Every structure is written in structure tokens, then in C-alpha cells.
Amino acid sequence: MSKNKKKRNKITKWQKLDNTANIFPAIATRTMTNVYRISVILNEDVDGEILQNALDTILPEFDTFNVRMKRGIFWYYFETNYKKPPKVMEENDFPCRYIEAYANNNYLFRVTYYKKRINLEVFHVLADGMGGFNFLRELTYEYLRLKHPDKLAGEFHGLSDETSLNTEDSYLKNFRKSHAKGYKTERAVEVKGEKLPAGGFGVIHGYVPVERIKAAGKKYGASINEYIVALFIYSIYKEYLHGQPSKKPIASCVPVNLRPYFDSSTTRNFFVMVSAVFKPEKDNYTFEEVVEIVKKSLREQINKEHLEELFSYNVSNQKNIILRSVPLFIKMPAMKSVYRSSAKANTTTLTNVGNIVIDDKYKPYISNFQSMISVSTGQNIKCGVCSYEGEMVISFTSILKDVSIQKRFFRTLVENDVPVRVESNGVYYE
């Protein structure tokens, strides 16, 4: 088995952080963790011991996750981690907490479970949501094989065909010389208010039929993603700005998966951020007006040429020989400063990892998936979206007590003939 072979050889691999990953060690704190969570909900309670065995089996196969981060003179880098895999724990805290590497055998992810749910939490330095789902899918497959050896092959025979082990830095591979900055830094509206008790983290999930939300978007000539982003921005406009004009725009970061545009299968980060921008210059915009503005904003940006321009600008800074020669202890404060400036240009983030595809033989054991992201500087409420077998899960995360924005969002869906089933993690009822 390849796991045993790797242990015998003890070949330590090392690799540079990808272009996007370089920023995360500089800005991560206990309150801005840069940790995202993806979860699979099974049709039966999870056995923690079997889940640990599954993780022990598959982790050595994934060079993206089987690493620890080291600090070099000029940049951080990864090297193979030969410590025991992280201990699988029953969930006992809020999602997306800071990952303390030293207490986690130097791994930068954690696996927890609660009743029927398996959670994978990842420090964004390792991989984006697509890379995370790549890992979670195999972890789930192996867990189910061990749990049901009579119906599924109980012995590990390798990864499924749809799982990639590609670890290339697709930013560098597809880099083109560029001098255009591509990003605007106009300060955006920040949603503020009374916060949950220290460490509190509110989660509200909305379950909706994909076909119904697709039909709702079609009425406005919008894709599902355009419709959801517009509805989130409209909800902020109505509930936070109360339909009033603002000198600052409401702007939502929208991560764009670059793999389809550049024929990549990397399991590392490969995305860029575009911003859907709505500047309310008058009273009482209708939802239809907001959708049109958001559609135009996104469509002007989401094309291969512009996306290439965005990440090429970032890579050009990384490749700059002068910047490369600056010691890390000087780079870190500068990177934090640049991040703080750019972070103020967005009100929130909405990320949609798309439709989750599962091998037919495992479908009877899986009910659904969830995706959520941690809050960050200036963004006290965010949204994660994923779909599975015709159902979409829209997950709001927030550190604010007020939930009027979330209520407006789901209420507007219902008014648009989209049925919604809502659940939360209970913090709003305490």
C-alpha cells in the first residue's frame, strides 16, 4: 500500500506556497482565522473511531494536506509532515476556529463530527474549497467502506477516478506578464452592530430546491450565482441601509474558480476574487434594479482575459526580484497593510463551490453537504453555497446578533416562489 511505502522511504518533499496562499500566514489571527468548513451529512450517526481510521488511511495519499508549514528567510513553505494525523474529535465548539498547528501535530486542517455530520475545516493556505471537497470526498468514501464492508469494498484500494492529486501552482503555470492592477479599492459599506458574546459564531442554513431558485433567477435574466449575490446585496441594502442612498457601495467578493478557464485540476488554491458592486445613489431601488446592476458588474469581470489579468498582476509582484529578496519579517507587516486596505473595499463575501458530484454507490449513505466561511476584517457576515442532488444549501455565517439580513434574504426567496427550509446552530436562541 502506498501509505506504507511512503513511511518506509521517509522522503520529505517541500513546496512553495501558491500565490494566493502567501497572504494567509500574514493576516491570520484568532479572530480572523481564514478557516473554511465543508461538511457532509450522512444518513446515520458517525462513528468517530472509524472516521479516525479513514483519515489515517487516506491522508498520506494527499500531498496537499499531508504537510506542515515552515518559515523561511523570504517566504513560508510546506514540507511533508510525518507526525500522526490530527486526532478526530467530536465537535464541541463553534465552526471555523483558528487552527493552532502546534497542538494539531503541525497539520493545518481538522476533522470533527457531530451526530450525522462530518466536518473538514481547512486553513486557506492549503487549498480552496474545490481542493477541500476533493479531500472530504475521499475521506467520506473511505469512512463508508470501513463502516459498511459488506456492501462496499472495506479495504483501501486507491482513490476514486474523479479525485485529483495534482499539486501544481496553476497561478505560475498560467501567468502572463501584466501591469494592470485590476482591483479597485473604494471603501465599501461595513455591516456593523452588536456582536455575539466573545467567540460566538452564528450559522443559519437555508435549504432550497435548485430548480426553483434557477427558475427565480431566470425571471430576471440572471444565473443562479448572479441571482444569489444580488439577493444578498439587496438584503443588506434594505435591512442595513434601510433603502437609503449611500456614498459608499455595497460590494460582495465573489471567488471565481479558475480551473475551468485554464484547464487545471490542481488541488491547491486556484481562484481569484471579483467584486459585485452596487452603489445606491437614490432611494428605494427595486430588487429588479439591483439584479441588473449586479449582473452587469459581474459579467464585465468574469471572462478569461480579465481573470488572467487579475491573478497575473498578483503573481508579477511575487516574481519581482526586488520583492523576492526582502526578508519575510519585513514582508509580513507590508502584506498585512495591503490586505487591510483592500479588505475595506468589500462589505461581504459570497462563495459558491457549485454542485457536489458523488459516485453512485455512495449516494444511499449521503444526505447533503454544507459549506461555510469565517468572517474577516470589515466583513462580519458572509455566505457559503453548495448543491447536491438537486438541493442547494445557503449558509450564512456571522458574529452579529442581528439576523434581519438573513431573514430578508430567505423571505425574498419565498416571495419569489422558492420554498426554504431553515436551520441554525442555536446561538441566536441562547
pLDDT at residue number 328: 82
Tell me the C-alpha distance between 272 and 388, whole Å. Answer: 24
Q: Per-residue pLDDT averaged across 358-386, rounded?
A: 97
181-201 in b/e form (b: 16+ CB < 10 A) is ebeeeeebbbbeeeebeeebb
Where is average pLDDT lowest: 109-123, 124-138, 160-174?
Answer: 160-174
Q: Give the SS3 label for residue 148.
A: coil
| 279 Cβ contact list (under 8 Å, min separation 6) | 246, 248, 249, 250
Where is average pLDDT lowest: 16-20, 43-47, 118-122, 368-372?
Answer: 16-20
| 17 burial via Cβ count (<10 Å: 0-12, 13-18, 19+) | buried
pLDDT at residue number 183: 63
CA atoms within a 13 Å half-sphere pointing along the CA-CB vector of 133: 21
Q: Per-residue pLDDT averaged across 373-392, rounded?
A: 97
Instruction: Residue 130: name the closest of 430, 352, 379, 348 by CA.
Output: 352
Top pLDDT among 348 and 7 is at: 348
pLDDT reading at 266 higher than 50: yes
pLDDT at residue number 340: 82
**CA geometry: angle 252, 135, 126, nearest 5 deg:** 60
| 119 burial via Cβ count (<10 Å: 0-12, 13-18, 19+) | buried
Distance of CA 15 to the CA centre of its chain: 22
Average pLDDT of the chain, as a whole number: 92
| DSSP character at residue 40 | E
pLDDT at residue number 120: 98
pLDDT at residue number 207: 98
Q: Per-residue pLDDT averaged across 358-379, rounded?
A: 96
Q: Per-residue pLDDT averaged across 27-41, rounded?
A: 95
pLDDT reading at 116 higher than 60: yes
Between the ranges 161-170, 264-273, 339-348, where is the mean pLDDT highest?
264-273
Task: Report residue 12's pLDDT band, with 50, 70 and 90 as the boundaries.
Answer: confident
* All cell numbers assigned to 342: 483592500
Between the ranges 98-107, 154-163, 332-341, where is the mean pLDDT highest?
98-107
pLDDT reading at 269 higher than 60: yes
pLDDT at residue number 2: 44
Top pLDDT among 373 and 156 is at: 373
Percent of the chain scoring above 70 in pLDDT: 95
CA atoms within a 13 Å half-sphere pointing along the CA-CB vector of 386: 19
Q: Per-residue pLDDT averaged across 27-51, rounded?
A: 96
pLDDT at residue number 322: 66
Phi then psi dihedrals of residue 125, to 5 deg: -60, -25
* All cell numbers assigned to 18: 501558491
Q: Give the SS3 label for residue 135.
A: helix
User: pLDDT tens digit string along 213-253?
Assistant: 999 999 999 999 999 999 999 999 999 999 999 999 999 99
| DSSP character at residue 234 | H
pLDDT reading at 8 higher than 50: no
User: pLDDT tens digit string along 135-161?
Assistant: 999 999 999 999 999 999 888 878 888
pLDDT at residue number 262: 96
pLDDT at residue number 405: 98
User: pLDDT tens digit string along 282-335?
Assistant: 999 999 999 999 999 999 999 999 999 999 988 887 777 667 778 888 888 888
Task: Report residue 430's pLDDT band, with 50, 70 and 90 as the boundaries.
Answer: low
pLDDT at residue number 66: 97
